[in-house]
Amino acid sequence: MKAAIYPGSFDPVTYGHLDIIKRASYIFDELTISVLNNVKKTPLFSVEERVKILEEATKDIPNVKIESFSGLLVDYARQKDAHVIVRGLRAITDFEYELQNAQTNRLLSKEELDTMFFTTSLEYAYLSSTTVKEIASFGGDISSCVPDFVGRMIYEKYGIRR
């Protein structure tokens, strides 16, 4: 069985992430979306909320499951006996960071873990969770960025009525 993990912060999931999830789910038999519980960051949504949001957003994709993890990605991947990481590449600006992570993970895993990159669909090339939160915090329109139920949850976090 071909299995992969798609790790990330997903704070919150955007249409860009969902595009990658859908495309990766066609290629792998099982895709685990792994939400990082990073105690060093203060996310807008708790890890539990991010997991729930992802569960709802991917409920129609049968071979996708959602988990959370903390610590090193290589340790988590080893526990799961996973050998492929999925990541999206939006633009050249993502490349250096992603290349460094991919190479570090390959080294730390003693070459047991490879990263497979999906180039983001052009319509989502501009999209990031950070941008979405910035727009929403000023009451801007994020309907083209995230599913409606996610949008409502973001506005609620910022105390914005639309």
Sheet strands side by side (includes 64-69): 64-69, 30-36, 3-8, 84-89, 114-119
- Active-site residue identified among 50, 87, 90, 133: 90
How long is the chain? 162
Residue 105-144 contact track with ligand PNS, rule CB under 6 A, x = bound: x---------------------------------------
- Is residue 18 involved in binding ligand PNS (CB under 6 A)? no
- Residue 86 parent element (H or E): strand 84-89
Q: Please say which residue, 129 or 139, places its beta carbon nearer to ligand PNS.
A: 129
Is residue 23 part of the annotated active site? The answer reads no
Q: Please say which residue, 39 or 122, places its beta carbon nearer to ligand PNS.
A: 39
- Is residue 32 involved in binding ligand PNS (CB under 6 A)? no
Is residue 162 part of the annotated active site? The answer reads no
Is residue 83 part of the annotated active site? The answer reads no
Beta strands, E only, 2-80: 3-8, 30-36, 64-69
Q: Distance from first CA to last CA of the chain, Å, rounded? A: 46
Q: Please say which residue, 25 or 34, places its beta carbon nearer to ligand PNS.
A: 34
Nearest to 19 by CA among 71, 61, 79, 70: 61
Q: Mind telling me the catalytic residues?
A: 17, 41, 90, 129
What is the binding site for ligand PNS (CB under 6 A)? 7-9, 36, 72-73, 101, 104-105
